[in-house]
């Protein structure tokens, strides 16, 4: 089983790209589609609008992101109520990063929340939602150590979350060790790994930034020599993503969550290699087997 993640569009061109990719991936039957909230909660209105369209105009199951950044409890109640009104019953709850500087000091909004577990409790109180939270295979940048980070994750899950989606990572063992730590605490909620194909140097650099981890030497040795060869870099990036997924599936991880950057092709190719594509989808996406262009 797999799911996919999109970002709300910034302009008309972005919107066309998003919906072309959305319709292409709709054919493949993902378990759900998530729509991010943007850095610092900056794209709230676009997230709400896009998630609403997914719920009302597609066959996809939408999952909306929700952060506590710069929102009072009253505002959060309104957003949650709006989601429920348009038929969105799945919410990914994250505290969010400080606006302007993701690594800056966290300052709670007046009449707002400080911790994600508080927001989980609010969503659970307001309706029959399926709630996800974030987890960090390499530890949250603000956590003092992995044990403390695991404690906070378990608290979020026990506050009412049903599952957790992992931040990006490079090494399958980092995710598997996180799964073991959570399991050792007597908490057995599903943990879902996030996957992003590093099809360009930019996406590789972004993965490093989002993972808050140092890229393994072996990975850099495979990709860095190809930075000036877009086609070769892309092919190697697809290979690396596929290998990571294969290892996770072999270790009993039942679900994969693909970060798309609003483009479908790389995700289609990896899913196809893993044998997760329905047979009829191959008839409508021949480029999944023999791509004609170099694209993310």
- 185-202 per-position pLDDT tens digit: 999 999 999 999 999 999
Lookup: tokens for 127: 């309706």
CA distance 30 to 256: 10
In the predicted model, what is the mean pLDDT of residues 201-210? Answer: 85
The single-letter DSSP state of residue 291 is -
- Domain residue spans in the chain? 2-288
Lookup: tokens for 72: 């009072």
CA distance 239 to 242: 5
Identify whether 5 is a catalytic site residue.
yes
pLDDT band at 117 (very low <50, low <70, confident <90, very high): very high
Helix H or strand E segment including 236: helix 230-250
pTM over 0.75: yes
Lookup: tokens for 37: 């909230």
Lookup: tokens for 278: 């329905």
Whether 293 shows a pLDDT value over 60: the answer reads: no
Lookup: tokens for 213: 């981890």
Q: In CATH, what is the architecture of 2-288?
A: Alpha-Beta Barrel (3.20)
Q: Count of H helices and E strands in the chain? A: 11, 9
**Strands, DSSP E only, in the chain?**
2-6, 33-35, 62-67, 90-94, 130-135, 163-166, 191-192, 194-195, 256-259
Lookup: tokens for 277: 């594509």
Whether the CB-CB separation of 36 and 14 falls below 8 Å is answered with: no
What pLDDT, on the 0 to 100 scale, is given for residue 40? 46
Please identify which of the residues 5, 118, 236, 269 carries the catalytic annotation. Answer: 5
Whether 246 shows a pLDDT value over 80: the answer reads: yes
Q: Please report which residue ranges of 63-170 form alpha helices under DSSP H.
A: 73-85, 116-126, 146-158
User: Phi and psi at residue 134, in whole multiples of 5°?
Assistant: -95, 150
Lookup: tokens for 125: 């109180």
What pLDDT, on the 0 to 100 scale, is given for residue 291? 28
Closest C-alpha among 96, 77, 82, 78 to residue 51: 82
- The sign of the dihedral angle between the CA atoms of 91, 22, 279, 165 is negative
């Amino acid at each position: 089983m797999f799911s996919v993640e999109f970002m709300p569009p910034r302009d008309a061109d972005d919107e066309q790209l998003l919906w072309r990719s959305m319709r292409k991936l709709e054919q493949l039957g993902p378990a759900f589609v998530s729509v991010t909230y943007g850095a610092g909660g900056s794209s709230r209105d676009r997230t709400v609008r896009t998630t609403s369209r997914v719920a009302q105009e597609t066959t996809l199951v939408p999952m909306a992101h929700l952060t506590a950044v710069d929102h009072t409890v009253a505002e959060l109640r309104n957003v949650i109520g709006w989601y429920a009104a348009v038929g969105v019953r799945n919410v990914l709850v994250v505290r969010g990063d400080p606006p302007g500087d993701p690594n800056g000091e966290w300052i709670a909004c007046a009449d707002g929340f400080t911790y994600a577990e508080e927001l989980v409790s609010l969503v659970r109180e307001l309706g029959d939602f399926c709630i996800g939270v974030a987890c960090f295979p390499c530890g949250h940048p603000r956590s003092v150590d992995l044990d403390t980070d695991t404690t906070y994750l378990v608290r979020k899950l026990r506050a009412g979350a049903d599952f957790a989606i992992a931040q990006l990572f490079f090494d399958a063992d980092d995710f598997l060790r996180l799964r073991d730590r959570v399991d050792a605490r007597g908490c057995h909620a599903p943990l879902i790994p996030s996957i992003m194909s590093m099809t360009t140097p930019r996406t590789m650099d972004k993965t490093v930034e989002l993972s808050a981890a140092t890229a393994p030497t072996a990975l850099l040795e495979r990709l860095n020599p190809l930075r000036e060869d877009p086609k070769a870099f892309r092919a190697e990036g697809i290979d690396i993503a596929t290998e990571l997924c294969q290892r996770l599936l072999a270790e009993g991880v039942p679900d994969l969550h693909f970060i798309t950057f609003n483009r479908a092709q790389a995700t289609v190719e990896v899913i196809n290699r893993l044998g997760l594509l329905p047979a009829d989808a191959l008839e409508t996406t021949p480029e999944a087997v023999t791509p004609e262009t170099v694209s993310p």
